Chain A
Amino acid sequence: MGRDDRYHGSRRQVLRAVTAGSVVGVTGLAGCVGDPEEAANGEEEFDTIELGVLEPFTGPFADLGEERTQGTELAIEEINESDEFDFEIEYETYDTQSDPEDALSEASEAVQSQGAQFLTGCISSDVALSMNDFALDNEVLYTPGAADVAITGERCNEYVFRFETSTAQIAEAMAQWTYEEQGDQIFYHLADYAYGESVKEEFSSRMAELSDDYEEVGETRAEFGAGDFEAYITQIEGAADEADAVVIGSTGEDLTTFLSQAADRGLPDEIPIVTTTASFTPVRAGAGDAATGVFSGVRYYPDLEMGDNHEFVEAYEAEYDELPDNFSRVGYDSIRMMVRGIQEAGSDDPTEVADALGGLEQETIFGSNEFRECDGQAVNPVWMGELVEGDDLPDVEILMEIDGEEAIPACEETGCER
């Protein structure tokens, strides 16, 4: 068998290979070698679908995983109570522990033990990307939660549909606002891993399009999970006179700690701090006062007057006694959109659902929306906001809105082939 023969990991291609009779030298191995597809089931009526909810309930993203699961569970509850659908969702939760190996093991359990045809979840990019591959290999539909561009970009596949707003989309709002309000001399502070890198890439390419004079004044890179940013803050302070703004490409604990230390040093008074995710509730709660005066791309805010967001917020508050945040809405509408795809396909077969779901126009908390056929990315609007003093934690004041079509990169620029 030479390298010309195309063998992929998926069961479907196995069938092709086997029927083409190209399994040379294997058939003789045992008397009972044959076609693996014989074991496959035919189509049948369904009144339940099995969903695996894979979230990091332990580890650095645990609070986000918890938050997202609340949204997911709310959607499931509503769907199971509603007459609109002919089926109910059964689900189980699995702890990915923010580790790809654990996540893959848990995903296998969901698919093989629980019989899940649909998977949702994962916050960090490496885990979500490993799940991307898993979904393709096992032919199950997957709705991730990470913002990494590659998920619906270079490493996309036809089983992955993302309601989470990608870094490319959020960078659109950040770049436009920064250019218009602050200027084009930019200092970058990045967490030195894929996320930080993609923030810079997306932001700077948009900046270069907007302004001919765009210049990168300087850059600092901190290890992922560095825990201490004093040295970088000193460098940013040193460049504060030349730079119009500092763009922060980090999230989670990296961002909260950075903001805390930056506030102690008075950095927000010296240079505007532009972030991707300071608007997240855990960041605002963690950084507290230190987050006020910081600018942030906004993927979602509860006061939003769009689609059925108002109903969502009310239901969410009634259920959990708190306001929903970005990941709650990702969990919530990932499930609702997926379920409408199942309804449309009239099948619980993930491949058929995936075919039906791509490009299916539907009502979401962002109003009319769809997972694009070309890359499976939802066409979400994005905002730019400033964190201002609030009661318990800083509030997000919206400064600017960019609608979904404008924010999303053109299909041919995504690098996604599916």
Chain B
Amino acid sequence: MLGTAIQQLLDGITLGLVYVLLAAGLSVIFGVMNVINFAHGELAVLGAYLAVAITIQTGIGSTAFVAALVIAPFLVGIIGVALERYTVQPLYGRNPLYHILLTFGLVLVINDLVYLIWGTGSFRLPRPEVLTGTIGAFGLGVSSYNVFMIVSGTLMAFAVWALLEYTKYGLIIRAGSQDRQMVRNLGIEIDRYYSLVFGVGAGLAAFAGIILAGNRQANPELGMSIIIPAFVIVVLGGLGSFKGAVVGGLLVGILQESILRPWVPWLEGMVIFVLMIAILLIRPHGLFGTELAEEGGSERLLAGRAGGLLERGTRLKLGLVMVGVLALVPIVAGLLGNQFWVTFGSRVLVWALFALSLDFVMGYTGLVSLGHALFLGLGAYAVVLGLIHVTSSVFVALAMAIALSAAIAWIVGFLSIRVAGVYFAMITLAFAELYYNLLYRLEITGGSEGIGLIGHDYYYGIAGLGASLDDIAFFVGPVVLTGHSLFYYVVLGALVASYFVTRRMLQSPFGSVLKSIRENEERATFLGYNTVVYKRRAFVVSGAFAGLAGGLFALNNAFVSPSAAEWLKSGEVIVMVILGGMGTLYGPIIGAGAFFGLEQLLTHYTGRWRLVLGTIFVLFVIFLPRGLVSVPTLLAPYLPGGPGPAADPGQLPEDAGTEGDD
């Protein structure tokens, strides 16, 4: 019994030390540069695969293990320096949330590169004989590799600590993570240390990735499985604090391996996120964070600005033409005999609505929700479960979805909006992950198998009046519109209606307050507005529309599974908003079209379409942060007879204050 307990503690320490190495880099990078590096997990994977290349692919085998442990982190360190130099650096001075977006793009790129170079299988890292098998000690059979993990992890952590504590570099880095401006004022060019810190952080991640791959497997999904715990640890320990990373890492490791898994396994996956939420609420700067990191208040998010090129009337007409074109899709598809464009169109429109809902809160109040898939999932499950258990009216079910999502959004908003910037992003992520975990565990959601709507009756109408879409048909010339085609119009109608409702809201006094919050929250407060209340209301509106999108998402698929609420979906919708241009409402709609258009186009040529998507996204974040809708304005000066406003793009009638600060 005692043996088991000791073994359990060892398990916790082993994993905890790996977490320490991962979180230390992540945390110090944030502390010094204010960069949340989502690609940190992928850098660890890259390290593991370079070790695979050095040991397996050169044919040397296990004797090269130690060499790999040195060379691979060094290489990844160089890659880290390059990443900082060419992708992160252009973003300094912008809101730190752009780094989240950028590094999310890098996740897509690096992950697909790993797939491209090393294929889909997993590898077992060959290790020297000494490090395999078990060592008998105190009547316990301890795995010698685990001992190696503990020893090397501790040494590495000490090395980093010593570097930070006793070298000049460390001194400057520590000072920088406390107060960058002060360091600059002292005449030290802290910016030059950024590349170094990023490189060392990447190298540490790679080192952790290799020893982890030796214990588990090198596989392309490894990064996804460690990045979320690493974030939890960084938040727990305090963003920017090395001590926090050490304590947080060991705490989470021991909690997970020595306490939760052996004793209360059903709570695992929940406890961690509840803990993260609690810490963010009670002590947003974490256990050891000294102060709140600099807020992005002064550095605004960049909204799209297509408005300047066209008159308001012209834009309205253009919009109507777009809706007209979209309305013709099923008819044209019918004429061509290819229904796929209707199904595809429905999917794009559902996502467009989802993106629009995110834009309402992100583009207009500057709150970046990293967990918006929570509301998509809520809406989707509400509709499916509603149609199965409660009602057979789709409209009632959708209303339930909207109400539920709005209610949950209010609760999440109530708890989260008191923290801002990256902390808000983190807390929404935690809520979404909590829900995602719950979906697997609940009986009613069907767990991982999901639930389907096939075999259940439902109709479009209310109080028994109405019909199933398959029972109605409209004849437009030679084209029959029924089933999916009609559903397409339902979605299109929902999207257009949502667009006008949200637009109307933004033109109201409520909307003006939201915009003023985005432009300068402090000033809005001085004017006497309780900005927290306004932000929460905006979040509820956003949640409600996301719930509607979720409901339509489920109806479109006639099926829902937990993947509807996974964090990648939250990431994808942010990609769409940025691609299109946030803060415009119609930009995200264009963004959704571009996202799926690109996917559709690319998947015909390559399975690795995310690589291209990620690259395009990274380029957008760096060079075109205002999204596709800003392209006309940018091109205007070069067009023959281009209209005047381009000469002075800053002065937009509606969006005054969107002028660039980059």
Interface residues of A (CB under 8 A from B): 1-3, 5-11, 13-14, 17-18, 23-26, 29-30, 32-36, 38-39, 57-60, 62-63, 66, 94-95, 99-101, 104-105, 108-109, 111-113, 125-126, 129-130, 132-134, 136-137, 148, 150, 155, 192-195, 197, 220-228, 230-232, 234-235, 237-238, 253, 256-257, 260-261, 264-266, 282, 285-290
The residues of B that contact A266 with a CB separation of less than 8 Å are 133-134, 141, 143
CA distance in complex: A58, B115 (Å): 8
For A5, list chain B residues within 8 Å (CB).
457
Contact B483 A1 (CB under 8 A): no
Contacting pair A228 B216 (CB below 8 A): yes
B466 in the interface (beta carbon within 8 A) = yes
Q: Judge whether B262 and A129 touch: CB under 8 Å.
A: no
Contact yes or no, B121 A231, CB < 8 A:
no
Taking the closest CB of chain A, its distance from the CB of B120, in whole angstroms, is: 4
Q: Which of A18, A192, A195, A257 contacts B471 (CB 8 A)?
A: A18
CA distance in complex: A265, B3 (Å): 14
What residues of B have a CB within 8 angstroms of the CB of A155 in the complex? 452
- B residues within 8 A CB of A150? 449
CB neighbours of B347 from chain A (8 A): 101, 105
A-B contact pairs, 20 of them (CB 8 A): A1-B466, A6-B457, A8-B455, A17-B471, A23-B467, A30-B474, A34-B475, A36-B473, A58-B115, A100-B560, A126-B449, A129-B452, A133-B454, A148-B449, A193-B447, A227-B226, A235-B261, A235-B262, A261-B215, A287-B217
Q: B167 at the A/B interface (Cβ < 8 Å)?
A: no
Q: B residues within 8 A CB of A136?
A: 454
Contact present for A230 and B610 (CB under 8 Å): no
CB–CB B217/A3 < 8 A: no
Contact B221 A25 (CB under 8 A): no
Q: Which 3 A-B pairs rank lowest in CB-CB distance, beginning with the nearest?
A: A193-B448, A62-B120, A112-B340
Q: Is the CB of B454 within 8 A of A63?
A: no
Which among B1, B115, B455, B471 has the greatest number of chain A C-beta atoms within 10 A? B471
Known: A5-B457, A17-B471, A104-B559. A112 touches B338 (CB 8 A): yes
Residues of B within 8 A of A289 (CB): 124
Most B Cβ at <10 Å: residue of A59, A148, A234: A234
Give chain B's interface residues, CB within 8 Å of chain A.
Answer: 1, 4, 7-8, 11-12, 14-15, 115, 119-124, 132-134, 141, 143-146, 215-217, 219, 221-222, 225-226, 256-258, 261-262, 265-266, 268-269, 338-340, 342-344, 347, 392, 437, 440-441, 447-450, 452-455, 457-459, 461, 464-468, 470-476, 480, 482-483, 553, 557-564, 603, 607-608, 610
Asked, given contacts A231-B11, A231-B262, whether A9 binds B563 with beta carbons under 8 Å apart, the answer is: no
Q: Which residue from A104, A222, A225, A231 sits with its C-beta under 8 Å from B221?
A: A225
Inter-chain contacts of B440 with A (CB < 8 A): 192-193, 223-224
In the complex with contacts A11-B483, A261-B216, A126-B4 CB distance below 8 A = no
Closest to B111 in A: A58
Q: B556 → chain A, closest Cβ, in Å?
A: 8
A59 neighbours in B (Cβ, 8 Å): 221
- Tell whether, in the assembled complex, residue A32 and residue B265 are in contact, meaning their CB atoms are under 8 Å apart: no
Most buried by B among A101, A105, A113, A289: A101
Alpha-carbon separation in the docked complex, A7 to B607 (Å): 39
Judging by beta carbons under 8 Å apart, are A108 and B559 in contact? no
The CA of A113 and the CA of B345, in the complex, are separated in Å by 13
For A66, the chain B residues whose CB sits under 8 A away are 120
Q: Which chain A positions have C-beta within 8 A of B466?
A: 1, 25
Q: If the complex has contacts A58-B115, A264-B215, A282-B122, are A36 and B480 also in contact, measured as CB distance less than 8 A?
A: yes
B residues less than 8 Å from A23 (CB atoms) = 467, 471-472
Chain A residues with Cβ under 8 A from B338's Cβ?
A: 112-113
A414, B258: Cα distance in complex, Å: 40
Are B559 and A36 within 8 A (Cβ)? Answer: no
Contacts of A193 in B (CB 8 A): 440, 447-449
Q: A407 to B454, alpha carbons, bound, how many Å?
A: 30
By the criterion CB–CB under 8 Å, are B14 and A33 in contact?
Answer: no
**Closest CB in chain A relative to B78 CB, distance in Å:** 27
**By the criterion CB–CB under 8 Å, are A237 and B4 in contact?**
yes
A239 to B, closest residue via Cβ: B4
Whether A237 lies near B122 (C-beta < 8 A) is no
Cβ-defined partner of A230 (8 Å) among B257, B265, B476, B564: B257
- In the complex, what residues of A have CB within 8 A of residue B448's CB? 125-126, 193-195, 224
Whether A9 contacts B392 in the complex (CB less than 8 A), given A234-B7, A253-B219, A286-B122, comes out as no
The answer to whether A101 touches B563 (Cβ under 8 A) is yes
Query: Which of B115, B344, B347, B475 has the most chain A CB atoms inside 10 A of its CB?
Result: B475
Question: A133 and B480: CB pair below 8 A?
Answer: no
Q: Is the CB of B122 within 8 A of A253?
A: yes
Residues on A with beta carbons closer than 8 Å to the beta carbon of B115? 58, 62
A282–B123 CA distance with the chains assembled, in angstroms: 10
The answer to whether A7 and B471 have CB atoms under 8 Å apart is yes
- Report if A3-B473 is in contact (Cβ < 8 Å); known contacts: A193-B448, A224-B448, A234-B7: no
Q: Are B225 and A225 in contact (CB under 8 A)?
A: yes
Which residue of A26, A60, A111, A137 is within 8 Å of B467 (Cβ)?
A: A26
Across-interface contacts of A30 in B (CB, < 8 A): 474
Q: How far is the CA of A415 from the CA of B89 in the complex (A)?
A: 60
Chain B residue at minimal CB-CB distance from A107: B343
What residues of A have a CB within 8 angstroms of the CB of B344 in the complex?
105, 108-109
Selected contact of A228 from candidates B15, B123, B610, CB within 8 Å: B15
Q: Do B132 and A264 have beta carbons less than 8 Å apart?
A: yes
Q: Are A36 and B482 in contact (CB under 8 A)?
A: yes
B471 touches A60 (CB 8 A): no
Q: What B residues does A1 contact at CB under 8 A?
A: 459, 461, 464-467
Q: Is the beta-carbon distance between A194 and B447 smaller than 8 angstroms? A: yes
* A95–B603 CB distance below 8 A: yes
Q: Which of A111, A222, A235 has the most C-beta atoms of chain B within 10 angstroms of its own C-beta?
A: A235
User: A104 to nearest B CB, angstroms?
Assistant: 5
